[in-house]
Amino acid sequence: MADILSTGVSGLLAFQQALDVTSNNIANSSTPGYSVENIELTPEPAQGTAGGYVGSGVEVEGIVRSYNELLAQQVNTSQASYSSYNTLATQAGQIDNMLSDSSTGLTATLQSFVNALQTLSTSPSSTASRQALLTQAQALVQQINSYGSQISTYGSQLEQQIGSDVTQVNSIASSIAQLNTQIASDLAGGQTPNELEDQRDTLINQLSQYVSVNTATESNGAMDVYIGNGQALVTGGTSQQLAAIPNQYNPTEYDIGVTSAGGTTDVTSEISGGELGGLLASRSQVLDPAQNALGLIATGLATIMNQQQASGTDLTGAQGQPMFSVPPVQVGASSNNTGSATVSASISNLGSLTADDYTLSYQGGAWQLTDATTGQAVTMTGAGTAASPFQAAGLSIVVSGSPANGDSYLIQPTEAAPAGLALLLTSPNQIAAASLAQTAASASNTGSGVISAATITNPASWVADTYTLSFTSPTQYQVTNSGGTVVASGAYTAGQPISFEGAQVTVTGAPATGDSFTITPSTASNSGDNSNVLAMISALSANTLAGGTTSLTSAANNLVAQVGVTTQQAQNNASAQQSVNQDATTALSNVSGVNLDAEAAKMLQYQQAYQAMAQVIQASGTMFTSLMTAITDG
């Protein structure tokens, strides 16, 4: 039966516990991850009497924390996005700073090389000008080498960070799984593990710094955690372990796998958000493309200059030697291959070459080529043999041996070029400033025709000989060699190129019938000829890359601009997500954080209630004493 004493005691104990909760809130007002706790009081069951039901006091129903799962998810989501964009911005910013320096950047050094060519064109026999060109060529090589080396260094650091992040994710996942087990056990025992739930929420927030996180709460209180695009990381009291696994084509790069009893499954494509997602994005969107684009520039520089060197003669009268060397196309076999096939590739057409990587795979009894960057299939011609290589994307591909179904190879046309670019010329005399052929007009010409300097368009087809270009009429021409054989003929149009035996000349004006011009091999006496160095300058500025749409200089500018745009976008996105995260964190703090003013008010309220309950108990004691005295006196 209800009585004043038991009622008073229940209230005294309840408000004592309320004071404990409030004091704990105040003590943890600056503790990271702490959610403010609130005591929930409920009346004791009323007791029936002749006069009706009489209350029997109060009891503590529970101590609950103030927590909003939706706001917490918004904090974690924005944290993952911020970490990802911030990581991408940091990685891209390093490349941007390296390439874009106005005085020492890529475009500035390339322009210095072109300027040295232009200076040489004004004095092609000058040893000083030739030496200056070699110096600038070496400076350009060293800079591209340095850029390639620096990008590789950034890549190595990135791979190390991926491994470190995987370790951190695994540690956090294991801790979450352990807390799930404890929380489920406490809830099953009727306890409310607020501190454990706070610890779990803190760990999930820490996890969102490494990868995007989604959660789902089970009926027993355990929280399942999914990362990236839905990969299960924690299920109840069990956590999956991520692993940094060597890429099948390049063991120095890491992919992300999930280990299980059945082995390791590659889930790289499912990882997004957080620092780990940002690192993967940095590799695929910045480091690898920058290395390949830089390699395309290096390959283009070497190919253009070497072709033009072969089209001219050096200061000794010899045909020009290659100026630069670049490593061959890189081909990597998948570690999963089971066949015995081998694949080799070489550059066959600079104009069709891209900065993309390609995957050559053997499927259903046939070879298939896929652009690894776009995922699009690439059409190949040829049979893939040495006599008839596969031709695609500016590459010649030769396969041999016996492939197994599913075997694949990664073809990287330009990846190795930045580090392997080298200057081959060692003497200023080796610069082929003069054309392989010289032109002259016959002294007996009566027309107004003027012949240009000779250009060797195909050094491999050029046959050194004395050629005569004669006009059988003002509108017809023919070219004969020293033996009198006609090697070319046709209708004359002023300004239109006339091609023969790998060479090309242009005649303007109005030649008369019987007029003639000679094209003869160059000798050392032609050291004052600057036609080939002018051709070098023209070739460097011509649209010879990307299917004839981009020049070497434009490609360099495009690389710098692309990295700059990526950096700026990542920085803007990071700034925006940081603001979103701050707002979400503030909103969650307003719900879960400790408000000292509110706690002070509760402290006063509970203190007064506690004192009142003490007075009730004192009154019950007085009443009991009075009753006993009355009974004793009677």
Q: What is the DSSP string of 364-382?
A: TTEEEEEETTT--EE--BS
Between these two residues, 86 and 55, which has the higher pLDDT value?
86
Between these two residues, 526 and 230, which has the higher pLDDT value?
230
- End-to-end C-alpha distance for the chain, whole angstroms: 26
E-assigned strand segments in 158-302: 213-217, 223-227, 231-235, 238-239, 241-246, 254-260, 263-266
CA-based Rg of the chain, rounded to a whole angstrom? 41
82 contacts 90 by C-beta, under 8 angstroms: no
SS3 for 389?
Answer: coil
User: Tokens standing for 457?
Assistant: 């368009």
Note the pLDDT tens digit of each residue in 177-218: 999 999 999 999 888 899 999 999 999 999 999 999 999 999
Rounded to 10 deg, the angle between the 106-122 and 127-188 helix axes is 170
- What is the average pLDDT across 529-538? 92
- What is the average pLDDT across 388-397? 96
Note the pLDDT tens digit of each residue in 562-591: 999 999 999 999 999 999 999 999 999 999
Cα distances from 477 to residues 469, 512, 513, in angstroms, run 7, 11, 9
272 contacts 84 by C-beta, under 8 angstroms: yes
Note the pLDDT tens digit of each residue in 464-510: 899 999 999 999 999 999 999 999 999 999 999 999 999 999 999 99
Residue 71's contacts (CB-CB under 8 Å, 6 or more residues apart) are 584, 587, 588, 591
Residue 549 banded pLDDT, cuts 50, 70, 90: confident
Predicted local confidence at residue 2, as pLDDT: 55
E-assigned strand segments in 427-552: 434-435, 437-441, 450-451, 455-456, 467-473, 476-480, 486-491, 497-500, 503-508, 516-521
- What is the average pLDDT across 226-233? 88
Predicted local confidence at residue 360, as pLDDT: 97
Share of the chain above pLDDT 70, in %: 99
Predicted local confidence at residue 1, as pLDDT: 40
pLDDT-wise least confident of 297-311, 316-330, 519-533? 519-533
437 contacts 391 by C-beta, under 8 angstroms: no
Q: Is the pLDDT of residue 434 over 80?
A: yes
Predicted local confidence at residue 629, as pLDDT: 80
Q: What is the DSSP string of 562-592?
A: HHHHHHHHHHHHHHHHHHHHHHHHHHHHHHH
Helix/strand/coil percent split, the chain, to 5: 45, 25, 30
- Listed by start position, the domains of the chain span 4-66+593-633, 437-521
- What is the Cβ-side half-sphere exposure of residue 481, based on CA atoms within 13 angstroms? 11
Predicted local confidence at residue 425, as pLDDT: 96
- What is the Cβ-side half-sphere exposure of residue 285, based on CA atoms within 13 angstroms? 23
SS3 for 479?
Answer: strand
Predicted local confidence at residue 634, as pLDDT: 59
Measured in degrees and rounded to the nearest 5, phi and psi for residue 244 equal -85, 105
Residues 361 and 158: their CA atoms lie apart, in Å, by 28
Q: Which helix (H) or strand (E) holds 58?
A: strand 58-65
User: Tokens standing for 162?
Assistant: 């991926």
Cα distances from 122 to residues 116, 310, 381, in angstroms, run 10, 21, 45
Q: Is the pLDDT of residue 176 over 70?
A: yes
250 contacts 191 by C-beta, under 8 angstroms: no
Between these two residues, 4 and 247, which has the higher pLDDT value?
247
Rounded to 10 deg, the angle between the 596-633 and 4-27 helix axes is 160
Residue 51 banded pLDDT, cuts 50, 70, 90: confident
E-assigned strand segments in 383-485: 390-392, 395-400, 408-412, 422-423, 434-435, 437-441, 450-451, 455-456, 467-473, 476-480
Question: 343-355 burial, b for 16+ CB within 10 Å, e for fewer?
Answer: bbbebeebebbbb
Average pLDDT of the chain is: 92
Residue owning tokens 């299939």:
377
User: Tokens standing for 603?
Assistant: 């402290």
Note the pLDDT tens digit of each residue in 125-148: 999 999 999 999 999 999 999 999
Residues 269 and 255: their CA atoms lie apart, in Å, by 9
Order of strands across the sheet that contains 241-246: 241-246, 254-260, 263-266
